[in-house]
Amino acid sequence: MEHGNASKQTPTVKVLAKAPTHIPGLDDILEGGLPRGRTTVVNGGAGSGKTLLGLEFLYRGALAGEPGMFVGFEEPVAQLLENAATLGWDLPALERENRLFLLEGRIKPDTLMSGDFSLKGLLAAAAGKSRELGAKRIVIDALEVVLRLFDTPQQVRNEMHVLNDWLQTSGLSAVLTVRPPSRGGASVYEDFFDSMGDCVIRMDARVLDQVTTRRLRVVKYRGSTTGRNEYPYVITPRGMHIAPISTVGLRHKPLGEKISTGVSRLDEILDGGYRRASCILVAGLPGVGKTILASLFVDCMCRQGETVLYIGFEESEAAMVGNVLSAGVGLEPHIASGRLAFLTNFPEAMGSEEHYFNVMARIEAISPRHVVVDAISACARMGGQHAAFDYLMRLLNACKERGITVLFLNQLSGSADFMEISGNDISSLVDTVIFLRYQQIAEESNRLLQVLKTRGSRHCNQTYEYVICDDGVRILDVYAGKGEMLTGSARRQQEELDTLEAQRMAFEIETRELDLKRLRLEQEQTAKSKKNHNGSTQRPQPGPGSPPRILPKGRRSEP
């Protein structure tokens, strides 16, 4: 048995060769890139960015040392070059260096009228140019345009077989882009594309709550595992950027040392302050002082020389900076020094993906140690609760991987349970929760603070009254009277009563001490007078050695 088992050989597992796209995020989803030497089909509607994906695959591949060809059946080459230039891509330079070739495959109407059309001539020209370049990659864009030129479904299938055979023998890493038929329409080539592609990617642009968003999904990948979810992507001024969320929670850095909150008393309540690289949530109704509490933290960190990024959805930079001046917080010097940067936008201005990539671009540019988001409750206006969840999860994950402290402000709408306080179902990733609320007494409102949660640290679980002063936030000592916590005028009234009572007791104690002192004096005076009286009535007794007195005759003793 042992000899037989030893003779068996373990089968060798061959790893599929891949061609990196060098598109941020896409290679993470594809676990390395597109299949090398095979065909990838990119299916997407108008405006989805499929042409851009193919062109960027070629451009970044050429920069990495893999020449490529672009064959386009819809967009003129001149227009393609202009569009690429807006992204900072110098395609003519790559053409001059023989690393890229752009072939315009658009068919003129007079060509069709002269006789039968076939892809064979175009493919022969492409093969010759490919050998000249030493090409490794090819993109054939808008193939459905040329396929519509054929009269019968049989002709379409014949040409697709010709194309498929050519791609399989070329050894090129190929990308075919195709637009799906209009809704309700039929396509004789759509199913064929899905079957001939070793990798099939679907891209689409959709509208969610009046906000446009783009999604990408890998439908199929022969011989390789891949991310199977829908992934948001945006077209940035530098090209495509995709945001995979598959690594959330896997590379988070551990919580760091304690850092000040900017309020000394809150530091005591939190046993030293916030943890570095943690996520802090400050939740409360409008006007309770969330932004002021955040600005005190920002001011404290900037004074220590650390950089902060403030993301605002509720107020402009100028409005926020001006409003916190009433609490004695001046942020202008930190902006001037570059330690404080703002990123403010209406949530509705763009989709959650564009918001996220804008934030990441600023994070990469300034490398902040801390990020403040004011307020996460506004994120639902980016396209709904799901879009808000995606945005916050991706942002929080990115910050935790970089060891950045995150301060979320959440504006509540009314009496809230813990889930609303935590905000957007992200409570599992929140390390510290501070709840600010009002307490109504008669005709006045007072502010209360309570720490509901702080991961990895001790904290005080009591409720504190706090006031917003000209020099920041002042947290008062816990004051309980008659079994309940007193705040505001009730506290001041009770403090006055306590002061009067203390004064009365002090006066009573002083009165009693005076009475005791008077009694002691009286006793001393009485004792002294008795002593003096006894000394005046007694005769002096003869001392030792005095001569004996002679008594009169008949007496035996002195009276």
CATH of the domain at 467: 3.40.50.300
Give the per-residue SS3 of 490-528.
HHHHHHHHHHHHHHHHHHHHHHHHHHHHHHHHHHHHHHH
With CA atoms as reference, report the closest residue to 433 among 443, 444, 445, 420. Answer: 420
Residue 424 has pLDDT above 80, yes or no: no
In this structure, is residue 353 part of a structural domain?
A: yes
End residue of a domain, out of 426, 453, 482: 482
- 231 and 191 in a common domain: yes
Q: Which two tokens stand for residue 457?
A: 């640290």
What is d(CA 449, CA 431) in angstroms, rounded to the nearest whole number? 17
Query: Does 127 share its domain with 204?
Result: yes
- Helix and strand element counts for the chain (H, E): 18, 24
State whether 114 and 172 are in the same domain: yes
Inside any domain, residue 226: yes
Give pLDDT, residue 62: 97
Q: Looking at this protein, which amino acid is placed at residue 378?
A: A
Q: How confident is the model at residue 120, as a pLDDT?
A: 86
The secondary element (H helix, E strand) that includes residue 533 is helix 488-537
Q: Last residue of a domain, which of 461, 482, 503?
A: 482
In-domain check, residue 380: yes
Q: How far apart are CA 449 and CA 435, in angstroms?
A: 6
Is 208 a domain residue? yes
- Cβ atoms of 205 and 47 within 8 Å: the answer is yes
The closest alpha carbon to 137, from 84, 210, 65, belongs to 65
- Number of structural domains in the chain: 2
According to the model, what pLDDT value does residue 550 have?
A: 54
Q: How confident is the model at residue 559 (pLDDT cuts 50, 70, 90)?
A: very low
265 with 231, same domain? no
| pTM, full prediction | 0.71
Question: For residues 434 and 282, is the Cβ–Cβ distance under 8 A?
Answer: yes
Same domain, 228 and 272: no
Instruction: Report cis status (omega within 30 of 0) of the bond before 380.
Output: no
Q: Do both 140 and 280 map to the same domain?
A: no
Residue range 283-306: average pLDDT?
A: 96
DSSP conformation class of 381:
G
The chain-wide mean pLDDT, for the chain, equals 84
Q: Is residue 433 part of a domain?
A: yes
292 and 415 co-located in one domain = yes
- In the chain, the amino acid numbered 352 is S
282-304 residues labelled b (16+ CB within 10 A) or e (exposed): bbbbeebbbbbbbbbbbbbbbee
Q: Which domain holds residue 161?
A: 18-242
- Tally of CB atoms within 10 A around 184: 5
Residue 516 lies in a domain: no
C-alpha triplet 338, 308, 386: angle, nearest 5°: 130
Quick one: 227 and 302 in the same domain? Answer: no
Asked if the model's pLDDT at residue 199 lies above 90, the reply is yes
Asked if residue 458 and residue 377 are part of one domain, the reply reads: yes
Q: List the structure tokens of 537.
A: 């009535």
pLDDT at residue 545, as a whole number: 57
pLDDT of 216 > 80? The answer is yes
Is 186 among the domain residues? yes
H helix intervals, 171-199: 190-196
Q: What is the pLDDT of residues 512-538, one digit of tens each?
A: 888 888 888 888 888 888 777 766 555
Say if 501 falls within a structural domain: no
The pLDDT tens digits of the residues spanning 234-259 come to 888 889 988 765 544 456 778 999 99
Of 482, 507, 536, the residue at which a domain comes to its end is 482
516 vs 367: CA distance, rounded Å:
74
In DSSP notation, 293-324 reads: HHHHHHHHHHHTT--EEEEESSS-HHHHHHHG
d(CA 415, CA 434): 15
Are 225 and 283 contained in the same domain?
no
- Same domain flag for 304 and 398: yes
Contact by Cβ (8 Å): 272, 265: no
Please indicate, yes or no, whether residues 394 and 457 belong to a single structural domain of this protein: yes
